[in-house]
Amino acid sequence: NENTTVHADPDQLKQALVNLASNAFEAMRPGGTLVLASSSVDRRALLEIRDTGQGIPSQDLPRVYDLYYSRRPEGSGIGLSIVKRIIEAHQGRMEITSQVGVGTTFRISLPLPQQGDLK
């Protein structure tokens, strides 16, 4: 079996995933679906967080990681900014796709340790 252990700060990674899940729950109506999936490809761990929420308009997608930007009146606009910083601090990448009325998917890619990196 391939090693799928990610070298990461568990508290920070947990915070990032909780922020994404919290946003997903807030975007969904009762009975919505949240899917968390993981896999590994080409020495990278892949995490996918997919919801059946209201979706994000395409013109808003470039701004979702901006500090203090929120589409919700009660939103602080810091959650996704924190998520992006955490993922980038772990040499990760994020991608977002969304369709209004259908839902949003966040894809996170984190490096897996190379053969001599495990202790």
- Give the pLDDT confidence of 71-110 residue by residue, as tens digits: 666 666 678 999 999 999 999 999 999 999 999 999 999 9
pTM, to two decimals? 0.84
Q: Which whole-number Å values give the CA distances from 103 to 20, 54, 75, in the listed order?
A: 13, 6, 18
Instruction: Give residue 13's pLDDT.
Output: 93
What is d(CA 48, CA 95) in angstroms, rounded to the nearest whole number?
Answer: 10
State the pLDDT at residue 1. 42
Interval 17-33 mean pLDDT: 93
Q: Does the structure show a pLDDT above 80 at 5?
A: no
